[in-house]
Structure 1
Amino acid sequence: MIQAINKIDIFQQLQKQIHTLQGFRTPTESQRVDFGLGIIERSFTGNIFPTGAIHELISAGREDAAATTGFMAGLLGKMMQRGGICLWISQKRTLFPPALKFFGIDPDRVVFIDVKNEKDLLWMVEESLKCQALSAVVGELKELNLTESRRLQLAVEQSRVTGLLHRLNPRRIENTACTARWKITPLASSLDPEMPGMGFARWNIELLKARNGEPGQWQLQWINGSFDYSAVKPSILSDEDQLLKAG
């Protein structure tokens, strides 16, 4: 019995060392962010949504891009509850800043940077991710290869800044060094019977790839400043999503 316990301790220590070498560090209680994602967080190492990491979000069209932006804003609202600044870098900004209030973000805490070409955008994202004074960096770009993603991942492993890379209709989906790859699509909102107006934002969340974790699929809505599970579905991925996952 004692030998079995010792083996478990050794295994857990080795696992922790491997995760550290891969750039994953368990946040302290003061650093940990309560995202309220519940079962989704169980897909990651230590049952913790990885901050100080790069997340890649893939959108196939404008409707998906709008849903992805809403999901990112929900994450940013949680990360910025204790203050901090976010940089939002893009070529063609379509976000309406006052709408960020809906997700608990003061628009003046987000600095928008518009650039002319994707090469400059990628360089600016990398340099921004090195700044420890930031809470997060959002980069709206199209293409990303393995070498570029490795540079970004190395940057956040030093600064512990969280990077959200939103890729709209990329030409190629390649293997990257990002900690997680997501696909967010919109769902029709639901209303209580006989209630007029529009329902709350609702999304289908697909975690296509997670380093040292388990992919999955869920349904979430944003209500009263928090994520809420309207339903939970098993992980059933389309052929296209299987390709994204493999990358």
Structure 2
Amino acid sequence: MKASKADIIAQLQRDILPLQGYKPVAGNICFDAGLGIIKEAFPNASFPLGAIHEFFCTGAEDASATSGFIAGIVSAMMQKGGVALWISASQTIFPPALKIFGIAPEKVIFINLTKEKEILWVMEEALKCEGLAAVITDTPEVSFTASRRFQLAVEQSRVTGFIVRRNPRNLATACVTRWKISPLPSISEDGLPGVGFPRWNVELLKVRNGTPGIWQVEWRGRFRHVFRIASINKEQQRKAV
């Protein structure tokens, strides 16, 4: 029986994925980081491991929300062991707070450097270390050439990298996904006074061979209450950055 046009296109997409950095990681083929319906935005409904993910921030509030969202993803990646590196010019993370996201603070190595060139060099070298679960870097500028080197490094080591960029000037990178995370007001439990669980507006602006979109997410020891708000088209991507 002849294959239908849809079957042929689907097979071509599967063949192309490994060429774009989507090489399955043993034991994690369907890894979704507990992101709920957001996983449907990724190829094969699997959060891309062994890839570089880019996050845009426009202020301190966005940066804090982004760090929390990344911590939620990394906590799922560290369930089977391993440590993470967090590289930045100044440490803005309060290590004990990582326990909220299921990460033992002693499992994260913080590296603080003053020069952007040093930050990018350390990140590239860290991404080559197969024993790391993840490498998170806070730096405003990343050239296309540097991002391409990062992607080539993780395709060999299968380490997953996260780059947090605050008010970046250069938008052209080789990263597999691009996100923008913004804080939302929390909702207290049963009308009780106080602060509720962290909530975020999650915008997936770019994903190779996937479907960008917008969701509202709440963290309750894991990602819960994930609501899809809208899809994102190219015009929305341009305005967002």
Same fold (TM over 0.5): yes
Query: In structure 2, what is the Cα distance between the partners aligned to 1:76 and 1:168?
Result: 20
After TM superposition, give the deviation of residue 145 of structure 1 in Å.
Answer: 1.7
Letter in 2 for 1:242: R
Deviation of residue 134 (structure 1)?
A: 0.4
Q: CA deviation at 1:173?
A: 3.7
Matched position secondary structure for 2:56: strand
Partner of 2:81: 83
> What is the rounded CA distance, in whole Å, between the counterparts of 1:229 and 1:11 in structure 2?
33
- Structure 1's unaligned 5+ residue stretches are none
1:71-126 per-residue CA deviation (whole Å, 9 max, x = no partner) reads 01101111101110101111111110000001000000000111120100001000
Superimposed CA distance per residue, residues 181-239 of structure 1 (whole angstroms, 9 cap, x where no aligned partner): 0000000001234312110000000000111111100000101x110125331136897
In the other structure, the counterpart of 1:209 is 206
State the TM-score, normalized to the length of structure 1: 0.90
1:59 to 50, 57, 60: 57
Find the partner of 1:20 among 14, 18, 21: 18
Residues 195/230 of structure 1: CA separation in 2 closer, same or farther (3 Å cut): farther
The letter of the residue matching 1:4 is: A
The structure 1 residue matched to 2:184, chosen from 184, 187, 195, is 187
Residue pair 2:25, 2:158 contacting (<8 A) in 1 also: no
> Which residue does 1:228 correspond to in 2?
224
Distance (Å, rounded) in 1 between the aligned partners of 2:155 and 2:226: 34
Q: Secondary structure at the match of 2:96?
A: helix
Are the structure 2 counterparts of residues 215 and 31 from structure 1 closer, same or farther at C-alpha, using a change threshold of 3 Å? closer
User: 3-state SS of the aligned residue for 1:3?
Assistant: coil
Deviates more, 1:47-56 or 1:34-43: 34-43
2: CA distance, partners of 1:122 / 1:112: 15
SS at 2:164 equivalent: strand
Q: Could you tell me the percent identity over the aligned residues?
A: 51
| Contact 1:54/1:165, CA 8 A, preserved across alignment | yes
* Distance in structure 2 (CA, Å) of the matches to 1:11 and 1:54: 26
Change (3 A) 1:236 1:20: closer
Residue 2 of structure 2 aligns with an amino acid whose one-letter code is Q
Q: How large is the Cα RMSD of the aligned pairs?
A: 2.1
Task: Find the aligned partners of 2:13 and 2:29 in 1 and give their Cα distance.
Answer: 22
Which residue in 1 is equivalent to 2:151? 153
Paired positions, count: 241
How many angstroms apart in 2 are the aligned matches of 1:34 and 1:188?
25
In 2: Cα distance, 1:31 partner to 1:46 partner: 9
SS in 2 for 1:234: strand
Contact 2:211–2:231 (Cα < 8 Å) also in 1: no
